[in-house]
Amino acid sequence: MIVREEFLSRLRKIFDLNLYEVRVWTALLSRGVSTAGELSNISDVPRSRTYDILESLEKKGFIILKLGKPIKFVALKPEEVIERVKRNLVVEAQHKSKRLETLKGDEVLGELSSLFTQGIKYVEPSDLSGSLRGRQNMYNHLDMMVREAEKTITLVTTAEGLNRKLEALLPSFEKAKKRGVKIRIAAPITPANVKIAKEISRVAEVRAVEEFKARFAIIDSEQLMFMLIDDEKVHPNYDVGVWLNTEFFAKALEQMFELAWQQFKPMSKIKVK
């Protein structure tokens, strides 16, 4: 069986399989039904490992065991495999979520919080900073900042970034608004995102930006997060952000933003065809 290594590598990433698993699976797909010995020969996987690999693939929903002797394994249609893997991921995520939820009242969380509280006492404010790589990591951190906000949230983003904010941050925005947090968002308003802007305007004051391209967030005039690269020129996995806990710089930037904010058009004056 000749399968390009590049293709096997893609399958490994997509389905979260190791090298032996993806080799045995594709070998079985090429045969339909086969024994472990045959699959070992076709896939170049050691015979001593093949049964373990097949058992793993069966548990993950990629193949099924055929009744009878000798023991054979049956390949499932790729479309069915995708559906099974999706269902398994959902169930596994639900189990993990419940397990993590129980930690809220557990002594484990208390001990972890105690460790953090003791450690943070010895940290200089200037040391509370870091770089964030990958857009998902950036949004996870931004969501945490929004959830911890007590007074103000100031966001400047791009046209496409506004769409992402709705998907990633709207629930946290809604909770922040209920806490009395003032939320302001500035972004280019286009035909592609005007509906999104109106949706977000339920929980935040949204104004249109024309010649002011930037990506940053200021929380309570204390925490600052800004992105280093134009989101139109970088893949989400390679996006980079910087987080700073600096009241001095955050207040200065927010004061400059105040001057620009007065020039931005409010939603009531925005006309997008």
List the domain boundaries for the chain. Answer: 5-83, 128-269
| Residue with tokens 């910087």, as numbered in its chain | 242
> CA 91, CA 93: separation in Å to the nearest integer?
5
Q: What's the topology of domain 5-83?
A: Arc Repressor Mutant, subunit A (1.10.10)
As a 3-state breakdown, the chain gives helix, strand, coil percent values, each rounded to 5, of 55, 20, 25
Element (H, E) at 146: helix 135-148
Q: Which fold has domain 128-269?
A: Endonuclease; Chain A (3.30.870)
pLDDT tens for the 273 residues of the chain, in order: 566 788 888 888 888 899 999 999 999 999 889 999 999 998 889 988 999 999 999 888 888 888 778 888 898 888 888 888 888 888 888 888 888 887 777 777 777 777 666 655 555 555 567 889 999 999 999 999 999 999 999 999 999 999 998 889 999 999 999 999 999 999 999 999 999 999 999 999 999 988 778 999 999 999 999 999 999 899 998 999 999 988 888 999 999 999 889 888 887 777 765
Give the list of residues 6+ apart from residue 203 with CB closer than 8 angstroms, or none: 170, 173, 174, 176, 177, 183
Q: What are phi and psi of 262, to 5 degrees?
A: -65, -20
